[in-house]
A = this chain, B = another copy of it.
C-alpha cells in the first residue's frame, strides 16, 4: 500500500466539515467530533419525528460505524444510494488485506462526517496527492453508512483458482444465484468480488465515499459496476413513512423492520451454527437485482389493473378489501365472489404467508437516462438482506413466477455477497475474522 493508504490508519483529527442547512444556505452549528471511531451523535430516525426540523436534523447526523452488525442493513433506510461492485485485480493477499484496513479507517472517518484523509496532506503539503477528493468538505455526515460484502468469486474465481487461500472459508450459501424465468441478466453489471453499499441522505456524500474507496483501492481493485439510486423504496424502521416506488405504489409496508429483533434473528442475521459462522456470525447475505420497469405500458394501464397487479390500493396503500395501509392483509376475504387480493398479485405471492419466508428489503429507484428507444431507462435497484439466499430471495423469487407484475418488469443484473458482522473496536477492520 502507498504512503497515502498508511496515513489512513492514523488516528483522525477533528471534523473539518461544517454543518450546512439542507438548502446549502446558513450555518446551523458545528458537529462535535470525537476521536476516530467515536460515536458522534445518534441517528434519531427510529423515532417518529415531531417536526420537519427534527427530521432534517436527523438526516444530517452521523450513524454509528461500530456495532454487532454492520450499519446500513437495519439502519433506517436513508434516501440515496451509491452501490459499487469491484473486481480484485491483484493476487497478493497482503495487498488486499492492507486495502481492507485502509478502507475501514477511511469508512470510520467518513461515516463520522470527516474526510477520508487530509486534503492538504501533512507529510507532503501541496506537493502530495490529497488524501481526500474534497467534494464533501462542507457537508455533514448525512447519515452515511458503508456496508461491505464479499462475493463468491473472492473465494474461488470462475476459473476455480483460490487466489487468496480463502476457498475453504466460503460458506455454502454463498454461491451464484440460479437463473429465473424471464431474467435478462447482463454479466457486465452483475457479480463482483467485493461490494460496498453507500447510503446517505445526501447523494454527494454517498458518491464521495465510494469515490474515495475507489481511490484507496487503486492497483488492488477495479470498479466492475456501480449504481446510483435516488429514492428509497422500503422502510426498514417502523418510524419511517412508507415510500413509493416508480409504479407509484407504497412499497415495503410489511417489510422486516429494525424494531422486530426476533424476526431479524430468524431471517436476516447469520447465527452460530450456520455455515461460515466462524467469521460470518452477526453478518448477513445481500442480494442485488437491477429491475427495469416497463414504465410506459404501466402508465397506460388502468388503476384497476395496477391495483390488481400489486394487491394494494394506489393512494392509501391498503391491502385490497381493506381501507388503511396497515390494515391486516387478509387473503381469505372475498368481494363479489372473488378473492379481494388476487392470487396472482405481487403482495399475495411475496407475502410471508404464501412465500413461507421473509427478507429485509432495502432497494432504491433509479433512472439511468433513456434507452435509445424513446423511453426512460428506469426501475428498481432491488437490495435484500437475508440469513441464507436459498431460503430468502431465491425462495421468494421462485414463488413469484406467476406474479402478474412480471409483465411490467425485467431483471437485468444479479449479485450476491456475504456481509461480515460489524466493526467492534478501534483496531478491527472489514474482513479481519475472514483473513485471520
Contact = CB atoms under 8 A, between A and B. Distances in A.
A23 B51 contact: no
Interface string A353-368: 0000000000001011
A84 B120 CA distance: 39
Given A52-B22, A56-B53, A304-B126, A226 B133 contact: no
Most buried by B among A89, A225, A240, A299: A299
Contact of A228 (B52, B230, B241, B249): B230
Given A26-B55, A50-B26, A129-B299, A370 B225 contact: yes
Contact of A369 (B228, B244, B314): B228
B248 A218 contact: no
Interface string A296-317: 1001111110110000001100
Question: What is the count of identical protomers in the complex?
Answer: 2
Contacts of A226: 367, 369-370, 376
B23 A59 contact: yes
Interface string A234-250: 01000111011111110
A137 B55 contact: no
Contacts of A201: 22-23
Nearest to A303: B126
Interface residues of A, number: 102
Interface string A119-148: 111001111111011111110000000000
A25 B45 contact: yes
Most buried by B among A125, A211, A247: A211
A56 B24 CA distance: 9
A56 B304 CA distance: 37
Contacts of A14: none
B230 A204 contact: yes
A273 interface: no
Given A20-B241, A245-B135, A374-B87, A207 B225 contact: no
A214 interface: yes
A57 B55 CA distance: 11
Interface string A21-41: 111111011000000000000
Contacts of A57: 52-53
Contacts of A19: 52
Given A45-B25, A55-B24, A230-B230, A300 B369 contact: no
A259 B187 CA distance: 51
A288 to B, nearest CB: 13
A76 B26 CA distance: 14
Interface string A250-263: 00000000000000
A262 B200 CA distance: 40
A120 B302 CA distance: 10
Interface in A210-232: 210-211, 214-215, 218, 222-228, 230-232
Contact of A248 (B24, B135, B367, B374): B135
Nearest to A29: B52
B376 A214 contact: yes
Given A203-B230, A372-B188, A215 B299 contact: yes
27 contacts: A21-B51, A22-B56, A22-B201, A23-B58, A23-B201, A23-B240, A24-B240, A25-B48, A26-B48, A26-B49, A26-B55, A28-B53, A28-B55, A52-B57, A55-B56, A119-B303, A121-B303, A127-B303, A128-B303, A130-B248, A130-B302, A134-B244, A134-B248, A204-B231, A222-B374, A223-B374, A230-B230
Q: 9 smallest A-B Cβ distances: which pairs?
A: A134-B248, A21-B55, A26-B49, A222-B374, A53-B53, A56-B56, A28-B52, A203-B230, A23-B55
Interface of A: 19-26, 28-29, 45, 48-60, 76, 79-80, 82, 84, 87, 89, 119-121, 124-130, 132-138, 188-189, 201, 203-204, 207, 210-211, 214-215, 218, 222-228, 230-232, 235, 239-241, 243-249, 295-296, 299-304, 306-307, 314-315, 365, 367-370, 372, 374-376, 378
Given A23-B76, A120-B314, A226-B367, 6 more contacts: A26-B50, A52-B57, A119-B303, A130-B306, A207-B367, A368-B369
